Amino acid sequence: MTNWIERAVLKRLSTVNPEQYGWLYSIAQHTPGVFWKLAGFAPLATHRKRVDNTLLHLTRLGAMQVYDCGSCLQIAVDTASREGLDGRTLRTALTQPLDLAFDERLALDFGAAIARNDAELAELVPEVRARLGEAALAELALCAATAAVLPTLKRGLGIARTCLPEQLRFGSAGAPTRPEA
């Protein structure tokens, strides 16, 4: 049984990311220590002080496409939209990345290359550092690294699935939408 604090945190999470509620509730119920460590992880995963919000979300999307568990990629899309990333930019990033502005594509490619441990990183790291600065490099690298945690955990719990970008939900203007219940 969860306590009232855990229930309050879960209620808040269920309004922000309903897809996460069921498995998080189970963790809170059976292993509250794990639940609280996950709750403490959120500030690390969302850290941003110097880098542009758009670039941060595009880095996360690039990494999440590699780590993909389907629902986590959709949550990353929904979160980016909620935090002001233009729907057209989101759609372009996931369907026609070559059409992104240079720095946007750089961030998307950087996140994906980190997740793949790609040899391309040898070129991308100095490019990100030169164009965006050392602080942005650190923040984007942290963003890509933390994107692995929830998909990996959900795979370990046996609740992950994969999806393709065309399966993501978008509204007519390019903004993501929730499916009808």
Its pTM surpasses 0.85 = no
Per-residue pLDDT, 59: 96
For 6-44, the pLDDT digits (tens) are 767 766 666 656 666 677 778 888 888 888 888 777 777
CATH number of 49-167: 1.20.1290.10
Alpha carbon separation from 159 to 90, 116, 134, 151, 154 (Å, rounded):
26, 22, 37, 9, 5
Q: Which amino acid is at 41?
A: F
For 96-142, the pLDDT digits (tens) are 999 999 999 999 999 999 999 999 999 999 999 999 999 999 999 99
Per-residue pLDDT, 73: 83
In 3D space, the residue among 42, 66, 26 whose CA is nearest the CA of residue 158 turns out to be: 26
Per-residue pLDDT, 54: 94
* CB contact set of 3 (below 8 Å; sequence gap of 6+): 32
Distance from C-alpha of 26 to C-alpha of 48, rounded to nearest angstrom: 30
**pLDDT surpassing 80 at residue 76:** yes
Alpha carbon separation from 130 to 34, 99, 125 (Å, rounded):
39, 22, 9
Distance from C-alpha of 35 to C-alpha of 181, rounded to nearest angstrom: 27
Exposure string for 28-50, b = 16+ CB within 10 A, e = fewer: beeeeeebeebbeeeeeeeebee
Q: Where are the domains of the chain?
A: 1-45, 49-167
Q: Determine the 3-state secondary structure of 117 from DSSP.
A: coil
Per-residue pLDDT, 43: 73
